[in-house]
Chains A and B, each alone.
Chain A
Amino acid sequence: MLELINLSFQVPEQSNAKKEIIKSVNLQLKDHTFTAITGPNGGGKSTLAKLIMGMEKPTGGQIIWNGQDITDLDVTERAKLGISFAFQQPVRFKGIKVKDLITLAAGEKLSTASACEYLSKVGLCARDYINRDVDGSLSGGELKRIEIATIIARNTPLSVFDEPEAGIDLWSFSNLIKVFEAMHEKRENSLIIISHQERILSIADEIVVLADGAVKAQGAREDILPELLGGTTGCKYYQQEEGTRC
């Protein structure tokens, strides 16, 4: 189980002021569940994911993973404990091939055939991609799919995906949904997917709404989703507080 306790993240601004990006967040994510995190742009979703992965250090609070306090562990240590993270904007490398990245992710020597299998899962014709560099020559959507394939290859107890649908074309989107459904089918691992897409939210067990650095709502999909989609005046979770409008 992943527990976030009073988790805060502040960054210094000019003149000693501090900007609070994550404000004392408390969350419990049960094992083997699929949690979708949604909320307005700039709400703090990616920051929260980076805090979970250890890419940012919280300025307050704790992160507990399966009973162990991992707040002070670095990225590598958390990765080794079974946490994975698919970046919102995947990183490009000069000279590292798609096969290398998938092999590193799998953590063992892979045959070309099994590396290709992961690529096929995300709808890439493996033969065309396996020996390509993970560099600027790949399109945004291709890069995004390769990123997802590496997380599938890692197959860890917790996988966090940051807007996996971004840049993925419509046809592949249906397949992407199937990928997540398949990952969740066996109920062996936990998934956190940050998304703005109704179709992803609608296959989650739990939904968390994060806005302005705080949890605005959390609960079973059946309870949260209708609220998110309902009403013509806009969603109540997304409404800005009086006075914060620029």
Chain B
Amino acid sequence: MDQIQKTLLEEIAGLHEVPAGAYNIRANGKSVSRNTTANIDIVTKEDKQGIDIIIKPGTKKESVHIPVVLSQSGLTEMVYNDFYVGDDCDVTIIAGCGIHNGGDEMSKHDGIHSFFIGKNSHVRYVEKHYGSGDGKGKRIMNPETVVEVGENSFMEMETVQIRGVDSTKRRTSAALADGAKIVITERLMTHGSQNAESYFKVDLNGAGSSANLISRSVAKEDSTQLFFSEINGNNQCAGHSECDAIIMDNAKIGAVPKITANHLEAALIHEAAIGKIAGEQITKLMTLGLTEAEAEEQIVNGFLR
């Protein structure tokens, strides 16, 4: 791995060296290193690009890292990763994609991550997206996440995209069985002329299932963002989504919430707020000696934390 790839790896997965536990590192379209454990197997797909990650029932306190880095300008790829998580597991999965584009051609990573989670399991899934490089070539990422959460299982999903991705269309859909729970937190910042779209669809199919979807985003300069969320309450369930956005400069932000109750005992809430940074917040930090620009930076960093 070269230095650029190492830097990308650090940005998206916090990795300085080879991670503990299972991992598969993909660089410029190829798997470059892999480790499996007694409980976690990683198998290359035969029919298309991607891997199957198979986690045995009862696997506890283990982690899987599957970072992807692209440093070759002009590379485009489409990758399928499938996660099979058995019953009674407690695992952390760190994914993420870093693109460095120093050339003039477009670099693009499209990925579909599918999760099949058994019963009584807890999965924490963290996904970071990051772009760098000063070439004219665009850095594009279109991640799709499809989740089936089994009975009484809990999926925690955190997605972060703070810098350098020119265009992203992110799709996340989840179907929940009885007693299943999902919490999705999204942090997004766009700048320059970037464009980001996020689509969330959650089907609360099981009795006692619940979903909490929290999106915080900041759009700066000429960037645009669009946020769609759809929660369907098909049983006795609780769904909550919250979209909170700060708009700056000439940016544009849209939020399209949809909540549908198909059952009398479905309790669904949507909150959405878009607005500029409150002037009094900036003033308050200025009274502590910060300049206006420093105050804005503090407020934005805190908001996206």
**Which residues of A line the B interface, CB within 8 A?**
53, 55, 74-76, 79-80, 84-85, 87, 90-91, 93-97, 100-101, 104-105, 107, 150, 154
Contact = CB atoms under 8 A, between A and B. Distances in A.
16 contacts: A55-B283, A55-B287, A75-B287, A79-B287, A79-B288, A91-B280, A91-B284, A95-B301, A95-B305, A96-B298, A96-B299, A100-B302, A101-B288, A104-B289, A104-B298, A154-B288
A202 B46 CA distance: 84
A104 B299 contact: no
Contacts of A87: 284
A107 B285 CA distance: 11
A107 B298 contact: no
A79 B286 contact: yes
B290 A74 contact: no
Q: Per DSSP, are chain A's interface residues mostly helix, strand or loop, or mixed?
A: mixed
Given A76-B291, A76-B292, A93 B286 contact: no
Contacts of A74: 286
A80 B278 CA distance: 22
A102 B125 CA distance: 33
Contacts of B290: 76, 104
Interface range on chain B (Cβ under 8 Å from partner): 20 to 34
A75 B298 contact: no
B116 interface: no
In the A-B complex, list the 4 residue pairs whose CB atoms are closest, starting with the nearest.
Answer: A95-B302, A75-B286, A96-B302, A79-B289
Contacts of B281: 91, 93
Contacts of A94: 216, 244, 302-303
Contacts of A80: 289
Nearest to A84: B287
A140 B2 CA distance: 54
A85 B280 CA distance: 13
Interface of B: 216, 244, 278, 280-281, 283-292, 298-299, 301-305
A76 B302 contact: no
A96 B284 CA distance: 12
B284 A76 contact: no
Contacts of A101: 288
A95 B304 contact: yes
Contacts of B216: 94-95
A84 B289 CA distance: 9
Given A84-B287, A93-B281, 5 more contacts: A55-B283, A79-B288, A91-B284, A93-B302, A97-B302
Nearest to A86: B287
A94 B304 CA distance: 9
Nearest to A79: B289
A80 B288 CA distance: 8
A105 B286 CA distance: 10
B72 to A, nearest CB: 37
Contacts of B286: 74-76, 79
A153 to B, nearest CB: 9
Contact of B287 (A85, A96, A107): A85
Nearest to A78: B287
Nearest to A104: B288
Contact of B303 (A55, A79, A85, A95): A95
B221 to A, nearest CB: 21
A75 B292 CA distance: 9
Nearest to A105: B288
B81 to A, nearest CB: 31
A91 B288 contact: no
Contacts of A75: 283, 286-287
Contacts of A104: 285, 288-290, 298
Nearest to B285: A104
A101 B299 CA distance: 11
A62 to B, nearest CB: 21
Contacts of A79: 286-289
Nearest to B294: A76
Contacts of A97: 302
Nearest to A135: B302
A90 B284 CA distance: 8
Contacts of B305: 95
B289 A76 contact: yes
Contacts of A95: 216, 301-305
Contacts of A107: 288-289
A49 B285 CA distance: 16
B282 to A, nearest CB: 9
A91 B298 contact: no
A84 B305 CA distance: 28
Nearest to A97: B302
A74 B290 CA distance: 11
B278 to A, nearest CB: 7
Nearest to A107: B289
A190 B161 CA distance: 47
B277 to A, nearest CB: 10
Task: Choose among A76, A80, A101, A104 the residue with the greatest number of B CB atoms under 10 Å from its CB.
Answer: A76
Nearest to B278: A91
A58 to B, nearest CB: 17
